[in-house]
């Protein structure tokens, strides 16, 4: 069949649409199954600089900018009277764009879909139906005859199936693929507000706050502010019986949010998200591969979610399709390419998880305070100040998606957290707590 697609993508979220667009740019025919189910709000509205090069590659940055608020950096606060860290993305200029965007996710997701169509990807407005199968003694999946027909494929076709179904994890659930859960058991509630004051930082800067219990985000969007709380599941019922009560009570009860939200008016439903740390133990098999959230998702702290969806699509394109579709007809070569892709995705997840842990356990604030103290001390050739700027550059670069996997940057963080943090409060003073209790005393 002429122009018969050799790749079928199940799911039309950011990961699936980005891969479809990248394949279309290579002239590779693919079909995307889109069940047209989209929530009114999506977590992942604050983007990191690492996504901007992908937007540029797809030719959509100007359109993203038009619908978004420009994001110059991120600030991290500890309760209402604790330390505050302000990271500017100017620190990463030279290897990444010195900015990013805060964007309404439904609009961004739709733009990625539109761009894939503009480039030539074909969408089928239906849910893909899958049937279990076995190939070379290994469990796999095949499209049903009806779905093959909708994709424009003959009954005996065996396209590469890409699971981009997001948190539904369609392939993993169908084949009972086990997953590794993260160490946290949190739940998030968020909504959009008008007249929620956001005057402590420069316009567009996001604020991540350590609360007395859990943590919160404040993301400036065009005409409104996205406000969310992330709390331990055991603590959530103490805030109220419903999602609305829990979010609104947390805003009233947490000093760092109460004053800023005293005039706020909620203008959207309250959305609930759970299971923030998860990674499938198998990323591919005969004729199939996992992509984006269908493979795994990272904690929302530091906003790596959308980046990982777009980066995953870029990595799959680079590892498998960079030399054309011939590899799809060579099972051994395809398996090696998918192994390479899976290793990279696992490395990304491990690196993000390690970095996020520095924020959850308070070590990042310890390092920050120690660096400030060091920079104020006189030293030959101003070495102390140079060291402080060097460490800030690497922390910002890791959180921006640039040096996240860098062996040097990760080793530097370990060294700083072990040897730099003298004469500053213990990390536990700044850690995200599952429940509220009086703060620990500072270390001597």
Say what angle helices 407-419 and 363-376 make with each other, to 10 degrees: 80
Condensed to tens digits (0 to 9), the pLDDT of residues 2-17 reads 466 899 999 999 999 9
323 exposure class (CB count in 10 Å sphere: 0-12, 13-18, 19+): exposed
Q: How far apart are CA 428 and CA 444, in angstroms?
A: 14
DSSP letter (8 states) at residue 131: E
**Which sequence spans correspond to the domains of the chain?**
7-66+104-180+278-353, 361-430
Quote the mean pLDDT of the chain. Answer: 92
So what's the pLDDT on residue 1?
40
Please state the pTM of the whole predicted model. Answer: 0.94
Confidence tier at 380 by pLDDT (50, 70, 90): low
Helix-then-strand count for the chain, H and E: 13, 21
pLDDT given at position 137: 84
Q: Would you say residue 333 has pLDDT above 90?
A: yes
Report the C-alpha gap between 110 and 122 in whole angstroms.
15
Phi-psi map region of 352: left, alpha, beta (phi>0 left; psi -120 to 50 alpha) = alpha
Looking at domain 7-66+104-180+278-353, what is its CATH homologous superfamily? FAD/NAD(P)-binding domain (3.50.50.60)
How does residue 372 score in pLDDT terms, banded at 50, 70 and 90?
confident
Quote the pLDDT of residue 106. 95
CA distances from 59 to 31, 48, 70, 113, 310 (A): 21, 18, 18, 13, 14
How far is the C-alpha of 113 from the C-alpha of 135, rounded, in Å?
A: 32
pLDDT bucket at 79, cuts 50 / 70 / 90: confident
Q: What pLDDT sits at residue 126?
A: 96
């Amino acid at each position: 069949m002429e122009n018969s697609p050799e790749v079928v993508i199940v799911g039309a979220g950011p990961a699936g649409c980005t891969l479809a667009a990248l394949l279309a740019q290579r002239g590779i025919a693919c079909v995307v199954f889109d069940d047209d189910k989209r929530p009114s709000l999506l977590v992942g509205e604050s983007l990191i600089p690492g996504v901007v090069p992908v937007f540029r590659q797809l030719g959509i940055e100007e359109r993203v900018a038009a619908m978004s608020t420009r994001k110059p950096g991120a600030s991290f606060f500890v309760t209402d009277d604790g330390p505050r860290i302000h990271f500017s993305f100017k620190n990463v200029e030279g290897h990444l764009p010195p900015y990013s965007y805060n964007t309404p996710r439904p609009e961004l997701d739709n733009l990625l879909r539109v761009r894939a169509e503009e480039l030539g990807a074909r969408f089928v407005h239906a849910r893909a139906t899958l049937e279990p199968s076995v190939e070379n003694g290994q469990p796999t999946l095949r499209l049903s005859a009806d779905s093959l027909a909708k994709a424009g494929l003959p009954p005996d076709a065996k396209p590469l199936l890409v699971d981009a179904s997001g948190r539904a994890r369609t392939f993993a659930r169908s084949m009972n693929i086990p997953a590794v859960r993260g160490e946290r058991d949190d739940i998030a509630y968020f909504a959009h507000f008008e007249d929620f004051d956001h005057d402590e930082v420069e316009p567009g800067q996001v604020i991540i706050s350590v609360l007395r219990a859990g943590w919160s985000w404040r993301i400036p969007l065009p005409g409104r502010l996205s406000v969310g709380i992330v709390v331990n599941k055991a603590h959530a019922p103490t805030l109220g019986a419903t999602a609305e009560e829990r979010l609104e009570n947390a805003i009233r009860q947490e000093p760092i949010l109460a004053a800023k939200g005293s005039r706020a008016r909620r203008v959207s439903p309250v959305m609930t998200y759970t299971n923030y740390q998860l990674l499938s133990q198998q990323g591919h098999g005969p004729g199939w591969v996992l992509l984006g959230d269908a493979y795994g998702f990272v904690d929302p702290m530091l906003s790596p979610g959308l980046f990982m969806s777009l980066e995953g699509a870029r990595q799959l394109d680079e590892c498998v399709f960079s030399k054309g579709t011939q590899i799809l007809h060579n099972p051994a070569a395809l398996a090696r390419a998918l192994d390479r892709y899976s290793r990279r995705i696992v490395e990304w997840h491990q690196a993000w998880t390690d970095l996020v842990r520095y924020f959850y356990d308070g070590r990042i604030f310890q390092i920050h305070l120690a660096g400030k103290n060091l920079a104020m001390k006189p030293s030959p050739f101003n070495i102390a100040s140079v060291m402080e700027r060097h460490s800030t550059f690497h922390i910002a670069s890791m959180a921006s998606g640039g040096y996240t996997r860098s062996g040097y940057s990760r080793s530097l963080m370990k060294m700083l957290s072990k040897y730099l943090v003298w004469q500053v409060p213990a990390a536990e003073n700044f850690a995200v707590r599952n429940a509220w209790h009086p703060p620990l005393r500072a270390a001597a």
